[in-house]
Amino acid sequence: ASAGSRDAPNPPRGVPPAYTEDVRVAGALLADKLLTLFEEVVGEERVFDDPNMRAQVDKVQLVDGRGAESNIVGTIHLTTSHLIFKGESEQKEIWVANNLIHSVERGPLSVAGCPLTVRCKHFQILHLLIRRDKECGDLFDSIRRCSQPLNIEELLAFDHRDGGEDAKGWSRLEWTIEFTRQGVDDSWVESDFNKDYAACDTYPERIWVPKTASKQILVGSANFRSKGRLPALTYHHKASNASLCRCENILLNEDERLMELIARTNGGEGEGGEPRELLLVDTRPMVNAMVNKVQGKGFEDERNYSGMRFQFFDIENIHVMRTSQAKLMEVQSRARSTTDYLKGLEASSWLKHLRAILECSHYIAKAIHTGTSCVVHCSDGWDRTSQTVALAQLLLDPFYRTIHGFEILIEKDWLAFGHKFDDRCAHVAAQNEEAAKEVSPVFSQWLDTVWQVFRQFPRAFQFNTRFLVHLHEHVYACQYGTFLGNCEKDRKDLAVARRTKSLWTHFDAHAEDYRNPFYEPTLYTDLLGVSTRASSIVVFSQLYSRWEDGILPRESIEDTMATSLDHIAVLQATIAAMEAKVAELKELTGRGSVGSSSCVSSFSAATAAHATTTMTSSLIAPKTMSRQETAESGVFDGSLTSSEDSILAGAAVRWQSLRDVDECSGRGCTVEFATRGEKRLHCHRCGKIFCRRCLRSSEKERLCRHCGDNSPQ
């Protein structure tokens, strides 16, 4: 069966994230009700060659962290790519990509067993109870080893079995197209001075600089910086003709010339031929900048620059953010009382940091909006600068609030300008203390700030919360090559575009999951009305409490609306088909009375052709019905199965309600959905909810296995 599914011409689209291939195999097997599932899966997955690695542990109990539910007994499988928990009796399956495992902890042995806690980077926490101490120890060592790859080439992304061409995903950002879209005028020009990453290895090869800047100035500017990250254009706001540049901090005062040239690109000259004011935004607190200056790293000295304004923002460094998020997660998982929670939240300062980023971005966006060009920098220009610059663009440009645009924004300001994903996310296990200090949730924090804006303007974004949550997971899961490497050069060296798949392709394929039903493309141009008051910034519980279903709201207006829209489209198609049918029948009866025999014979032929399908569907329909609860009896309108057209009759008018749906309704599957946040998809024909494995989508409709088999086509 596994071979069959691998050869399947049309692999089911839209597998839940983090488990593409493997799930496809597993899904096929499940549907065939093979009890030996995991032997097969493991056979497919590749077990470790090393005999020291423990691949399977039976009779493991999964403990609910909040003590609300009883333990689930199951088996743990460890493969080269995933940690899998499969419940024995219940349809519980947990798949965790090895790279998502953050840490494992062993607890003291107790009567119940040996506790093992697995913490994941996407905030899932598995509390396991293992019977024997020996097993627990082995599993502990094995998980630790496989979750900490020593070499980047060991990552899951390079292990993708079918290495089909993925040009579409890998060419998401085309600099020329993007800058043309932004409407960059001819005062900016593409410079080739970073060819082969000669001047700056953490920048892209192609950068845009003021046209008037000679190569000498650029080289000079790059040379006196420690990492050569000179001011380069990232965004040009057409409406106000202001541009946004980013760079690392300044060492000496030789930048004056380049800054002036940037200021001059602003087109309109101020009074008296002076260039318009240029805003230099330092995202660090003033104190940090001063310290740096003392150490000789320095910052721009106001006296050396005329027509420039300096602004400091209190965004803390990566170490503070790391500690802050750790505290936040501690509070999220431990706090039981309101007092603990609020105090812990305050102690973590996470919301304070979010607000600082939001305020800084808002300030930059406002300045750009009013026509003041900005140069943003921090220490290295790849953490705080990326956060604020990207968020400011999101506030300014509606294009970046579409799914496609958002991906370009990430490609541009995070990937191309060298945010160190390898180091910050610890794709390769941190080998020493130095490396451990490099780890910081800078990108997830930015996603959090994006969500804060999203929360205030749900109609301004094409994507939804699920998109951000899944994006966060994939940054760490390393299943796709997009977020590998520290900079563009790294990715080129690793040839990720050839050897791995792009995350964007995956997202494209699952667009229906990530579309925000409230999106109104033309409603907002800028989002400068965003509120940065303290009460507007709240904890992103869909991300941090994602795996604790009890905490999140039980019902969602957004999902209901998305389903409604989906259903409306299907109903409209059905109505069109029915109207055609009515017209046909009317014609028939009209002519029939006259007595046109040719028409009658064609009709009876059609009836005959449909007869078989009618038979099957009318036979099967009541059976599936009886399995459903009686409240859903309206789902299937049995009265029409006797009529001629099975397609029309078979389409359920009412769809299964989203309420309390935790399992797939496929026969033999009934697997639990991983979280409440996962999209529930209906079969267009029978109107019931299935998991991704049990659905097949075509251009026209999405059918469950059962309806698909009975489909007349």
Residues with catalytic roles = 378
Which is closer to another protein, CB of 638 or CB of 668?
A: 638
Distance CA 482, CA 204 (A): 15
Name every residue whose Cβ is closer than 8 Å to that of residue 565 and which is 6 or more positions away in sequence. Answer: 517
Q: What is the DSSP letter of 237?
A: E
Closest approach of another protein to the CB of residue 595, in Å: 7
- Residues within the annotated binding site for substrate? 317-318, 378-384
Nearer to another protein, 429 or 661 (CB): 661
CB of 373 within 8 A of CB of 279? yes
Closest by CA to 555, choosing from 698, 458, 657, is: 657
Phi, psi of 45 (to 5 degrees): -75, -30
- As given in the structure block, the two tokens for residue 698 are 């075509």
What distance in Å separates the CA atoms of residue 318 and residue 156, rounded to the nearest whole number? 27
Please answer whether residues 641 and 625 qualify as being in contact, where contact means their C-beta atoms are separated by less than 8 angstroms.
no
Nearer to another protein, 452 or 482 (CB): 452
- The span from the CA of 116 to the CA of 109, in Å, is 10
Binding-site annotation: residue ranges: 317-318, 378-384
User: Which of 65, 107 has the CB closer to another protein?
Assistant: 65
Judged by beta carbon, residue 10 or residue 589, the one nearer another protein is 589
Nearer to another protein, 68 or 111 (CB): 68
Using DSSP's 3-state secondary structure scheme, residue 656 falls into coil
HSE toward the beta carbon, residue 577, CA cutoff 13 A: 13
In terms of DSSP bridges, do strands 242-247 and 278-282 run parallel, antiparallel, or are they unpaired?
Answer: unpaired
Residue 606 near residue 584, CB atoms below 8 Å: no
Nearer residue to another protein within complex by CB, 435 or 640? 640
Cα separation, 236 vs 282, in Å, equals 19
* Residue 589 to residue 576: CA distance in whole angstroms: 20
**Residue placing its CB nearer to another protein in the complex, 37 or 625:** 625
H/E stretch holding 94 reads strand 93-97
- Closest CA relative to residue 407, chosen from 178, 176, 166, 246: 178
**The token pair that represents 610 in the structure block:** 């449909």
* Closest separation in Å from C-beta 118 to another protein: 21
The residue type at 638: G
Give me the phi and psi of 24, to 5 degrees please.
-60, -45
Which residues pair with residue 242 across a beta bridge? Answer: 237
Minimum CB–partner distance for residue 700 and another protein (Å): 18
Strand 278-282 versus strand 308-312 pairing type: parallel
Euclidean distance between CA atoms 133 and 135, whole angstroms = 5
Separation between Cα atoms, residue 365 and residue 613, nearest integer Å: 61
Strand bridging mode 242-247 / 373-377: parallel
